[in-house]
């Protein structure tokens, strides 16, 4: 099956060998997204809400570059470092998904950058 690399303009160099997104058969797979600037530095250290907003803004840019909108997101995988940030993450999440929410799961774990409090990976169905 053919696939298309999705790299929004201005995207920085990834920390590992991956693309920000890949589109195949009308489905966009957005890589796990951390709250990083273009130089791979964590932004908004200590602020889970601001980090979540940053992450979801990046995800939105990947989905839009692929020709979709956040309404096309059908599934999210959410990783957080501490359950005490769950409410702050959910409040921002609800801003990006105001209507029917995508399916999702959420786990607590360590992340590749210790200052990062949240990471999200998404799947969107944008059509062929």
41-88 pLDDT, tens digit per residue, is 999 999 999 999 999 999 999 999 999 999 999 999 999 999 999 999
- Between CA 46 and CA 49 the distance in angstroms is 9
Q: With a cut of 80, say whether residue 7 has pLDDT above it.
A: yes
Q: What percentage of the chain exceeds 90 in pLDDT?
A: 89
| pLDDT of amino acid 22 | 97
Q: With a cut of 80, say whether residue 1 has pLDDT above it.
A: no
- On the 0-12 / 13-18 / 19+ scale of CB atoms within 10 A, 124 is buried
pTM of the shown model: 0.96
Q: With a cut of 90, say whether residue 36 has pLDDT above it.
A: yes
| pLDDT of amino acid 10 | 85
Distance of CA 119 to CAs 3, 8, 18, 26, 43, Å? 24, 18, 15, 24, 13
**Taking all residues of the chain, what is their mean pLDDT, rounded to a whole number?**
96
């Amino acid at each position: 099956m053919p696939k298309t690399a999705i790299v929004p303009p201005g995207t920085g160099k990834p920390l590992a060998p991956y693309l920000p997104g890949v589109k195949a058969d009308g489905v966009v797979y957005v890589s796990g997204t951390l709250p990083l600037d273009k130089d791979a530095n964590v932004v908004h250290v200590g602020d889970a809400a601001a980090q979540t907003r940053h992450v979801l803004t990046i995800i939105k840019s990947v989905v839009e570059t692929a020709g979709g909108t956040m309404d096309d997101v059908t599934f999210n995988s959410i990783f957080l470092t501490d359950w005490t940030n769950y409410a702050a993450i959910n409040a921002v999440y609800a801003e990006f998904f105001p209507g029917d929410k995508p399916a999702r799961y959420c786990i607590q774990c360590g992340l590749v950058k210790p200052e990062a409090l949240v990471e999200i990976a998404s799947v969107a169905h944008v059509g062929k």
